Amino acid sequence: MPARAPGPGDRAAPPDDHRRRPRRRGKALDEAIFQATLDELDENGYANLTMERVAERARAGKASLYRRWPSRVELVMDAASHAFPDPSSPIDTGTLRGDLLAALRGIAQLLSGPAGEALRGVLSDVLSDPARTAEARRRSQGRGRRAIELIVRRAVERGEIDGTAVTPRRVEAGPALLRHHFLFNGVPIPDEVIVEIVDEVMLPLFGCAPGP
């Protein structure tokens, strides 16, 4: 029998006794899967990320993935969140403009990593289900929005801007433009883009004269 596949008669093959002993469970396994997911995101992008490859890379069975997440979308969103768990209150530079630049730069940096790759892909997978759409929105927008809200509130308290100019739509505008740029132009996001968004859009909307 020269050129055959393993073949049907090989059913009685020994069950491969050399399995890795310290079998991971729970948290340890979660971590391994997250790491494999992020690595795949990095190397191949969301479009080419498959449950099969993630499982293999994590040296886990596919069932262990499906036991935890119902689909690729949830896995990727979880993995991205897990990688950047820290909402970390925005730094305080003392001026509205400085704070906004810092905040947007933080978001840009986030988008340049796995979280960005995840965001891009998740968008198209998620829209059929409104609940998951909302979940994705919450995860991707919450951080930036809360940061800007806090920054603007501090500026109002400092008397730098008028509180009546602050509306949800305007708070959201800056991060939205940044995300929009990322989605349509990819990475890296030039710093001029951020400066322009702050100086030409955000500051004017809050009633500030554009920066230097």
Partner DNA sequence: CTCTAAACGAGACGGTACGTCCAGTCTTCGG
Partner DNA sequence: CCGAAGACTGGACGTACCGTCTCGTTTAGAG
CB crowding 190-203: b at 16 or more within 10 Å, else e: eeebbbebbbeebb
Residues 157-186 that bind a second copy (CB under 8 A): 167, 169-170, 173, 176-177, 179-181, 183-186
Among 31, 42, 50, 134, binds DNA (CB under 7 A): 50
Among 36, 72, 96, 155, binds a second copy (CB under 8 A): 72
Q: At its nearest, how many Å lie between DNA and the CB of residue 130?
A: 18
Please report whether residue 193 would count as binding DNA according to CB under 7 A: no
Residues 54-73 that bind DNA (CB under 7 A): 59-64, 66-68, 71-72
Please report whether residue 147 would count as binding a second copy according to CB under 8 A: no
Please report whether residue 128 would count as binding a second copy according to CB under 8 A: yes
> Footprint of DNA on this chain (CB under 7 A)?
1, 3-11, 13, 15-17, 19-26, 29, 48, 50-53, 59-64, 66-68, 71-72
